[in-house]
Amino acid sequence: MRYTQEPAYVLHARRWRETSLLVEVLSREHGRLGLVARGVQGPKRQALRAALQPLQHIRLDATQRGELAWLSAAEAIDQAPRLAGDAGMAGFYINELLMRLAPRQDPRPELYALYGQVRTQLREQAPLAWTLRRFERDLLEALGVGFALDVDGDGVPVDPAARYLLDAEHGPRRLLGERDGGERGRTATGRALLALAADTMPGPDDLAGLRRSLRTVLAHHLGPRGLKSWELMAELGRIGSDGDG
C-alpha cells in the first residue's frame, strides 16, 4: 500500500541503525503507522529530522512493507507546540497513551481529530489537569471502551454526594460504606463524574479524584505494563498534584 500526502501527527521517533529513525505517527486515514525513515542524519536532512519530532503535524509519502512503512518524504504542516515543564510531560503522556492503546493500521479519524484538539489546547496553555481528563475520557470513547459518567453501571443516576469507583468493564460503581473502604483512594465524587459528563471543569479536589479513577481504567486496558510517563511523574514527585497525568 502507498500513502500519498497523508496527514499525520508524530507520536515518537528513535534512532535506528546509523542514519535512520523508527517513527510512530497517528494518520488521518490509516490510524497509527510505524515508519522507517532512512538516511535522516546529516546537515542536508535537517528539515526532514525536524518534521519527524513528536507533536509535529506532517504530510507524508510512504510505502507499506509488512508491519512497517518506508518513508519517502515528509514535510511539516505547521510548527509543533513548544512545551516545557508539566506541559512537556503532558505531551509525552498523551503520545505514550496513543502508542500503547491505538491499534496499528486501524482507521480511527476521531482519534486523529482528538489529537489535533488536545495539541491545540496544550499550545494555548489551557488548564492542564482538565485538558488531560477530557482527553482520557474522549480517548476511551474513541477506542470503543468508554462508558456513561452520569449513570452507574446499572443505569442508576449518579449521586453527586456519593463516591464512585470506575470499573473498566462496568462503568461507575458506587462505594457502599466500610465494605469498600479500601478502594476509597481510587474513587471520584459523583459531583466530579457529573462535571466530566457535562464537560464542565470541577474544582481541584474533584480533578484529583478523576485522575485517580481514570488511571484505574487506563491501567486495565494497558495491562500489566504501566506507562513510562507515570514512572517519571512519580520520580518527580508529581503523582499527588492535580496538574499532571
- Kindly report the pTM of this predicted structure: 0.91
Q: State which amino acid sits at residue 133.
A: R
Domain boundaries defined on the chain: 2-76, 85-235
What does the pLDDT look like over 175-229, one tens digit per residue?
A: 986 555 557 678 999 999 999 999 999 999 999 999 999 999 999 999 999 999 9
- Region of 190 please: left (phi>0), alpha (psi -120 to 50) or beta: alpha
- Cβ-in-10-Å burial (0-12, 13-18, 19+) of 213 comes to buried
> Do the two domains 2-76 and 85-235 of this chain adopt the same fold?
no
Report the distance separating Cα 154 and Cα 152, nearest Å: 5
For position 243, what pLDDT does the model report?
44
What does the pLDDT look like over 159-179, one tens digit per residue?
A: 999 999 999 999 999 998 655
- Is the separation of the CB atoms in 218 and 212 below 8 Å? no
Report the distance separating Cα 186 and Cα 205, nearest Å: 13
CB 236: neighbour CB atoms within 10 A?
12
CATH 2.40.50.140 is right for the domain spanning 2-76: yes
- Is the separation of the CB atoms in 86 and 217 below 8 Å? no
Torsion angle defined by CA atoms of residues 65, 66, 67 and 70, in that order, rounded to the nearest 10 degrees:
-10
The pair phi, psi for residue 143, each rounded to 5°, is: -85, -5
Give the mean model confidence (pLDDT) for residues 64-85.
93
Polymer length of the chain: 245
Selection from 52, 60, 56, 55 nearest residue 16 by Cα? 52
CA 54 to chain centre: 13
CB 170: neighbour CB atoms within 10 A?
12
Give the mean model confidence (pLDDT) for residues 91-98.
97
Chain position carrying cell 538516511: 39
- Average model confidence (pLDDT) for the chain? 91
Selection from 22, 46, 17, 20 nearest residue 33 by Cα? 22
Q: Which CATH architecture has domain 85-235?
A: Up-down Bundle (1.20)
